[in-house]
Amino acid sequence: MIEAEGHSFFDAMKDKGIVTGMVVTSKCGHDTGRIYVVVSEHESFLALCDGSSRSLTGPKKKRRTHVRPLGQIENAGEWLQSISKMQTPEQNSEIRKGIRKFLDGHTEV
């Protein structure tokens, strides 16, 4: 078995390479099909925002296995840092714009 940084190959496969700044879609639960941005990671859980029902101040907590990655937002680290310095209504607007821009650039969902 391959080991890297205390994680096995199978742990890496379970994580699916989902990192902060990725756009994901929910695979299960009452929010199935909803599109989110990953704003932080906590072990096997992700904090997700969509800018409408889930803001940066109240993100959705979801297991990594319950989301499907769609892709990475360009310059995600800088983008999320700039959003965190804004007021809440502006944060939500920017998150929605970021998701919309990502989806406009990607026809496959």
| The predicted structure's pLDDT at residue 106 | 67
Q: What residues form DSSP beta bridges with 25?
A: 35, 68
Total domains in the fold of the chain: 1
Domain that holds residue 19: 3-105
Per-residue pLDDT tens digits for 88-100: 899 999 999 999 9
pLDDT tens per residue across span 22-78: 999 999 999 999 999 999 998 889 999 999 999 999 999 999 999 999 999 989 989
Instruction: Compute the distance between CA of residue 61 and CA of residue 64 in angstroms, rounded to an integer.
Output: 10
Question: The pTM is what?
Answer: 0.80
CATH assignment at residue 76: 2.30.30.30
CA distances, 55 to each of 84, 88, 105 (Å): 11, 8, 23
The confidence band for 105, taking pLDDT boundaries of 50, 70 and 90, is: confident
